[in-house]
Amino acid sequence: MAATRVSRVAVLGMLHQTNVLAGETARRDWTAGTLRGAELGAAASRSDARLPIELGAFLESAGGQGLEPVPLVAAAAEAGGPLRQEVYEDFLRDAVQLLQQALPVDALLLALNGAMVTAKEDDPEGKLAARLRATIGPEVPMLVMLEPCANPSDLLMQSADLVLATPDPTERGHVAIPMLKRLLAGERYQTVLLRLPLLVPLATLSPEEGAFGTLAREAELAGKHDPLIHAAVLHGFIFSDRARSGVSVLVTARSKPAATAMAKHLGALVWSERKKLQPHAQRLDQAALFAAEICSHPGESPLVLADIADDPQGGGSANTTFLLEALLQQHVTRTLLGPFIDPKLAEEAHYRKVGAPFIATFNRGGNIGYVRRLQLDATVTGLSQGKGTGMWGRWAGRPLDFGLAAALDLGGVTVAVASRRQPVADAALFGLLGIDIGSARVLAVKGSGLVRGGFSGLVPGAHMVEVDGPGLTSADLSRHRFRNLLSSKYPLDQNVSWSG
């Protein structure tokens, strides 16, 4: 019996969610998240935190299914400002050269965020996909995996044979396997990308609940029924500040009419829910008053506050003090806040040791943008090296590294200070510091939509409230100075119409 032929699949990734309002992403940040060759191939078995989840899922499972992964390079950095141009150009050149050296390959798998820009490049992902396509030629199948935050360009869509944007990254990596096998068998499809004049802030993007979660599940289910191949609703990260930024519907089917019909159907559903997709956040003073009320009534359910204006997953620095100051002004008790990213303060707390009282200086670098220097009396109540594992959802069991971390009691409010941002709204940091979140009356978390999905299970019965104020990820779009984002989109234009 002839042996089953194994298909060689080149594997690459370039993932960065760009918030143009933040400071630039430097070479050291990009290099720290880069894996090449054998190191990339072995990262899945080591649960390497640098490995994008979708690539890990693919690499773990593809080998036994007639596919031979050929890991080339994958790079990622935490959400932040535009990547330095020379860093991107070096990566682009490196990726193309590695692919040329790996030829011939039978297929190519490319993982992208879909909302990346660089200092000078409007469409770095489309440009990369086009260069890779030119390298492998028009006949070799290329499958691109995107995050639901994607703002895919026409160039990107034209370069790929199939684009997957399954909401869960682990499932995305697994689904890529049978899809690649179908492409390798000669199947080809028709894709429609329908862009809506609609902007959706991060605060409403919980994948587990709410209007967006419902729409995402509706699309995902629709894509599983023949003649459809795949369907997704992309929220389109606003802060990448592109003319194409905003909600879009992605549908792939065996025929163009089928893809078009479903795209219009899903688009109409999304448009009908546009008002529900806007956040209903409380002001800082309102949230602090609510927190004080919860603290004064022990019988009330606990309160979880999501600081949506300083969301590290959207490029926020996770070190604004507006919510902290508002809570202190209301003299709240049994309140936790974090993660607050301040490496120098965490380092000082480790120097002083547990039990030491001192004057804590938050943001000692001074007032820069939304970041303000703040001095408060504090006592160190917990210390940690910051290494642990995620507790929920896609990050459950995955390694996290917050760097040096400390718990500081400010008198009623305990702040969990860390040295490194992590791309997850998770209670792991509190646990590493020996803090029982179950005993808190108020839990204030730096984050947005994913906070609701994560902490609702960890704090059963809690009130969940989004709080908005000054910050790089504020849902109040009037706070921001966008250069490319079209103003003729809802809610910037309340009168805009759309009919598909």
Q: What is the DSSP string of 128-186?
A: HHHHHHHHH-SSS-EEEE--TT----HHHHHH-SEEE--SSHHHHHHHHHHHHHHHHTT
Phi (first) and psi of residue 216, to 5 degrees: -65, -40
**Model pLDDT for residues 147-186, shown as the tens digit of each residue:** 999 999 999 999 999 999 999 999 999 999 999 999 999 9
Task: Record the tokens describing residue 148, joined without a space.
Answer: 């639901």
Q: Rounded to two decimals, what is the model's pTM?
A: 0.93
Give the per-residue pLDDT at 351.
98
pLDDT at residue 208, as a whole number: 55
In the β-sheet with 442-446, what is the strand arrangement from edge to edge? 357-362, 374-384, 405-409, 413-418, 335-341, 442-446, 303-307, 463-467
Spatial CB neighbours of 17, under 8 Å, sequence gap ≥ 6? 79, 113, 115, 116, 147, 149, 237, 240, 313, 314, 315
Task: Indicate the pLDDT class of residue 456, thresholds 50, 70 and 90.
Answer: low
The per-residue pLDDT for 500 is 76
- In angstroms, the CA 427 to CA 409 distance is 18
Whether 17 shows a pLDDT value over 70: the answer reads yes
d(CA 450, CA 448): 6
Query: Within a 13 Å sphere around the CA of 299, how many CA atoms are in the beta-carbon half?
Result: 0
CA distance 56 to 189: 26
Contact criterion met (CB below 8 Å) for 435 and 336: yes
Mean pLDDT value across residues 301-327: 93
User: What is the pLDDT, as a whole number, of residue 207?
Assistant: 53
Q: Where in the chain is the domain with CATH 3.40.50.2300?
A: 7-272
What the block records as the tokens of 56 is 């890990």
> What count of other Cβ atoms lies within 10 Å of the Cβ of residue 208?
16
Residue 412 clears pLDDT 70, i.e. is over it: yes
With cut-offs at 50, 70 and 90, classify the pLDDT of residue 1: very low
The mean pLDDT value of the chain amounts to 91
DSSP, res 81: S
Residue linked to tokens 């001074």: 366
Those residues whose C-beta lies under 8 Å from the C-beta of residue 211, and which sit 6 or more positions away, are: 204, 273, 276, 277
- Residue 204's pLDDT band (cuts 50, 70, 90): low
Q: How confident is the model at residue 2 (pLDDT cuts 50, 70, 90)?
A: very low
**What percent of the chain has a predicted confidence (pLDDT) above 70?**
94
pLDDT confidence band for 64 (50 / 70 / 90)? confident
Look at residues 183, 178, 162 and name the one whose alpha carbon lies nearest to residue 231: 162
Q: How large is the average pLDDT for residues 76-86?
A: 95
Say how far apart CA 125 and CA 393 lie, in whole Å: 27
Residue 225: phi and psi, rounded to 5, are -115, 125
Question: Of the given ranges (143-152, 214-223, 391-400, 472-481), which has the lowest mean pLDDT?
Answer: 391-400
pLDDT band at 48 (very low <50, low <70, confident <90, very high): confident
Q: What is the mean pLDDT of residues 252-273?
A: 96
Residues in the chain: 500
Give whichever of 388-392, 406-410, 436-440 has the largest mean pLDDT.
406-410
Q: Are 231 and 191 in contact (CB under 8 A)?
A: no
Amino acid at site 155: L
CA dist 319 to 172, 471, 472, Å?
32, 10, 11
Q: How far apart are CA 421 and CA 381, in angstroms?
A: 21
Q: Look at residue 250 and tell me whether its pLDDT is greater than 50.
A: yes
By C-alpha distance, which of 188, 238, 272 is closest to 484? 238
Q: What is the mean pLDDT of residues 97-110?
A: 98
pLDDT value for 460: 59
Q: Which of 143, 100, 121, 107 is nearest to 16 (CA)?
A: 121
Q: Is the pLDDT assigned to residue 398 strictly greater than 60?
A: yes
How sure is the predictor about 290, in pLDDT bands with cuts at 50, 70 and 90? very high
Residue 267: pLDDT band with limits 50, 70, 90: very high
Instruction: Give me the CATH topology for the region 7-272.
Output: Rossmann fold (3.40.50)
